[in-house]
Structure 1
Amino acid sequence: MSRLPQIDMHAHIEADIPASDLTNLGALVFAATRSLDEAEGALRRRDAWTVWGVGCHPGLVGAQKAFETDRFASLSTSTPYVSEVGLDGKSRVPMEMQRATFAAVLSVLQASPRITSIHSYAAIDDVLDCLDEWPIHGAVLHWWLGSPAQTRRAVDRDCFFSVNAAMLRQHNLVSRIPLDRVLPETDHPFGDRSGGDGRRPGRVGDVELALAQIHQLTPEKIRQTTWRNLGELIRNTRCGMLLPRQARVTLAAS
């Protein structure tokens, strides 16, 4: 396998995990948070290979009620990654509240773009409508379940997509995502339950192998491609200096 580390574009990790445990994962892991309180604690860390996000999960009533636009904007100045945000059609949170939060997040990101991992479960068209109204650079549609038409619509809006092991059961879904828009994820501990590579953040080898088979490439080539895709996201958002130094060095050499 390539010397490039694996990329995990979306994982959930406890913010008090020892730094050595994260380094030992051997991957560049983008760690989503689900509330501004969680993000504030996580963003105090300085990890060599983990990028901590600022998020407000659409499925959490408490996080949505506590959301403050100014606080979100302030926290996002110290990270290149916003996650997890978006809409959830099955959430107990009223959709009106979810939309207000998501609109506020997108408005901030229009002025200060970030790589943004977006939740769209049972609300795909609503999410795409919001991205039409408040277009941003750096949108990554996490655990994508869209139809062919919805996928084309998202591609036309310059969205990227993150793919996890749970999605691999839907071969047609994964195969219609353009390779130059794909990044692997685990969504640990949720999206990697069916993974054959062990349940740990950063273990995306099964996703890389599946993508290699779909596109008739080697896993090494897939990993190189995902690093190029990450580079494109960084160029689009112009937030590369907020990445950990080791990630910047690797990205420049990839």
Structure 2
Amino acid sequence: MPARFIKNMAMLDAHIHLSDPEYQADMETILASMKRLGIRACAVSMDNDSSRTTLELAAKSNLVLPFVGIHPEKFADNLDSMVHLIEANSDVISGIGEIGLDKTYTRTDGDFKRQKDVFTKLLGLAESLKKPVSVHSRKTLDEILEIIPSYCISGFLLHWFDGSKKQLSRAMDLGCFVSYGPVMVYSQDKQVLLSNTPRDKILVETDGPVRFSHCFGMKSAQISFIPSVIFCLSKILGQSYDDSVSMLEQNSTRYLEA
């Protein structure tokens, strides 16, 4: 079982950027809220600096499950330093993330090649260390689905899944988990995707501090949004809230025990 896995905590925010400066002033309140609500968090990182911050937060609370890595936006960050950071802290790191591909952040073919090199290097490290991954796949889902079979990673999360039904089917064939967040509360497209997802592959997330509209009033996502996401999920899947919490707890256990 990976380090920092917490039993008897029913809910999991599978993807949130707790190291983001927007949360810094309220961190003690956030950690207290997590304890009161019984919510763990896969705290993902963007680069070397935020990864170190994530590890510091994890040292303060065992509800924070530290994921470290280089986000595709930060593809120019020092890869060697990241590899060293992961290897030096492999006993306390819960997973590798946020990693992935996103052509939005590249200008040239060389940029995308560098982005892909970073992604595949960190996937290889996750495989060798037997760590789950949290993967960013905006507008690159087909490329990522082609890469996945090259690695043996049982805890492979396509966070904020935004693909087609066909891509979802392919992701399920490859054994991936997918996560849905606050946008699912008001997006019919996301609700349709959720209803077509095998129940043993579903996780929930906030992706904070992303801001959400409609009932969330463009507020930065907080971990306390998770019960609302689960409530919506319950209605879509036609099951009780408690059954949904139990289902998600089992799914998060399997994801984290990659």
TM-score, shorter chain, exceeding 0.5: yes
Structure 1, residues 112-155: CA drift from partner, whole Å, max 9, x if none? Answer: 12121110000001111111222322101100011111111111
Query: Measured at CA, do residues 224 and 127 of structure 1 come closer, stay the same or move farther in structure 2, by a change above 3 Å?
Result: same
- Which residue of structure 2 lines up, in the alignment, with residue 249 of structure 1? none
Q: CA deviation at 1:20?
A: 5.3
Q: CA deviation at 1:5?
A: 4.2
Matched, 1:121 2:105: no
- Which residue of structure 2 lines up, in the alignment, with residue 176 of structure 1? 196
Distance 1:95 1:144 in 2: 21
SS at match of 2:69: coil
SS at match of 1:79: coil
1:91 is aligned, of 86, 91, 105, to 105
1:190 is aligned, of 200, 210, 218, to 210
- Which residue of structure 1 lines up, in the alignment, with residue 234 of structure 2? 212
Structure 1, residues 29-66: CA drift from partner, whole Å, max 9, x if none? Answer: 111110022212321323131112102110125xx331
Preserved CA contact (<8 Å) 1:23 1:48: no
Q: CA deviation at 1:73?
A: 3.3
Preserved CA contact (<8 Å) 1:162 1:184: yes
Choose 189-198 or 216-225, whichever is displaced more.
189-198
Choose 24-33 or 111-120, whichever is displaced more.
24-33
Query: Measured at CA, do residues 206 and 24 of structure 1 come closer, stay the same or move farther in structure 2, by a change above 3 Å?
Result: closer
- Which residue of structure 1 lines up, in the alignment, with residue 3 of structure 2? none
Preserved CA contact (<8 Å) 1:115 1:233: yes
Per residue, is there more helix in 1 or in 2? Answer: 2
Distance 1:193 1:47 in 2: 30
Distance 2:180 2:71 in 1: 19
Distance 1:97 1:191 in 2: 29
Q: What does 1:58-137 correspond to in 2, within 5 Å?
A: 58-61=72-75, 64-68=76-80, 69-92=83-106, 94-137=111-154
Preserved CA contact (<8 Å) 1:8 1:202: no
Instruction: Give, as a single letter, the amino acid of the residue that structure 2 aligns with 1:177.
Output: T
- Which residue of structure 1 lines up, in the alignment, with residue 15 of structure 2? 10
- Which residue of structure 2 lines up, in the alignment, with residue 230 of structure 1? 252
Q: CA deviation at 1:70?
A: 3.7
Structure 1, residues 165-193: CA drift from partner, whole Å, max 9, x if none? Answer: 12440221221111111111000121645
SS at match of 1:43: helix
Q: CA deviation at 1:196?
A: 4.2
Choose 118-127 or 10-19, whichever is displaced more.
10-19
Query: Measured at CA, do residues 143 and 47 of structure 1 come closer, stay the same or move farther in structure 2, by a change above 3 Å?
Result: same
Which structure 2 residue ranges, 5 or more long, are not aligned? Answer: 1-7
* CA-atom RMSD in angstroms: 2.3
Preserved CA contact (<8 Å) 1:9 1:184: yes
SS at match of 2:30: helix
Distance 1:20 1:190 in 2: 19
Distance 1:162 1:20 in 2: 25
Preserved CA contact (<8 Å) 2:19 2:45: no
Query: Measured at CA, do residues 46 and 60 of structure 1 come closer, stay the same or move farther in structure 2, by a change above 3 Å?
Result: same
Distance 1:193 1:6 in 2: 23
Query: Measured at CA, do residues 202 and 52 of structure 1 come closer, stay the same or move farther in structure 2, by a change above 3 Å?
Result: farther
Which structure 1 residue ranges, 5 or more long, are not aligned? Answer: 238-254
Instruction: Give, as a single letter, the amino acid of the residue that structure 1 aligns with 2:249.
Output: W
Equivalenced residues, count: 232
Name the % identity.
22
Structure 1, residues 57-96: CA drift from partner, whole Å, max 9, x if none? Answer: 10125xx331223444334442112221011131136210
